[in-house]
C-alpha cells in the first residue's frame, strides 16, 4: 500500500521559515518524482516543486524559486520542502504527491497523494 504523510505545517509571520516533510512508504522502484503542491481556499491546486528520484533534479514554480528548497533523504524515504522568506500569499494546504511519469508540476500527472498540512503566513 502506497502512503504519503505530510507534516511540519503551522503558523508563522511573514519572513519566517518552515520545513515540511513527506514520509513515503509502500514504493518499490515505480516512483519517478515527488512533488509538492498547494491549494488556497477558492483557488486551483498549484504545483510548487518536485524532485526526480533517478538523478535528484529539482524544479520550482517561479514564485517560490530562491525561497523554497526541495530535498530528499533516501535512507529515511522522506522528501522535504524548506520554505524561507514566507509571504502571506504562500498560505495554503500543502500536499506531497508521487508520480511514475515524467517530471512535472501538473497535478494531473501525479497518482498518489498525501492528506495535506496547513501553512498559514500572517502579514
81 has pLDDT over 90: yes
Which of 115, 116, 82, 112 has the alpha carbon at shortest distance from 97?
Answer: 112
Q: In which band, very low, low, confident or very high, does the pLDDT at 100 lie, cut at 50, 70 and 90?
A: confident
Q: What is the pLDDT of residue 90?
A: 98
Centre a 10 Å sphere on the Cβ of residue 37 and count the other Cβ atoms it contains: 24
Confidence of residue 31 (pLDDT cuts 50, 70, 90): low
Grid coordinates standing for 46? 498549484
Amino acid at each position: 500500500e502506497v502512503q504519503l504523510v505530510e507534516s511540519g505545517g503551522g503558523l508563522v509571520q511573514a519572513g519566517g521559515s518552515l520545513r515540511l516533510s513527506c514520509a513515503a512508504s509502500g514504493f518499490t522502484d515505480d516512483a519517478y518524482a515527488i512533488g509538492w503542491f498547494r491549494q488556497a481556499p477558492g483557488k486551483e491546486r498549484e504545483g510548487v516543486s518536485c524532485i526526480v528520484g533517478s538523478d535528484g533534479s529539482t524544479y520550482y514554480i517561479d514564485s517560490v524559486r530562491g525561497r523554497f528548497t526541495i530535498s530528499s533523504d533516501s535512507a529515511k524515504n522522506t522528501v522535504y520542502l524548506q520554505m524561507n522568506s514566507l509571504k502571506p500569499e504562500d498560505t495554503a494546504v500543502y500536499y506531497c504527491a508521487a508520480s511514475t511519469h515524467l517530471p512535472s508540476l501538473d497535478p494531473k500527472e501525479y497518482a498518489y497523494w498525501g492528506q495535506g498540512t496547513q501553512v498559514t503566513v500572517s502579514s
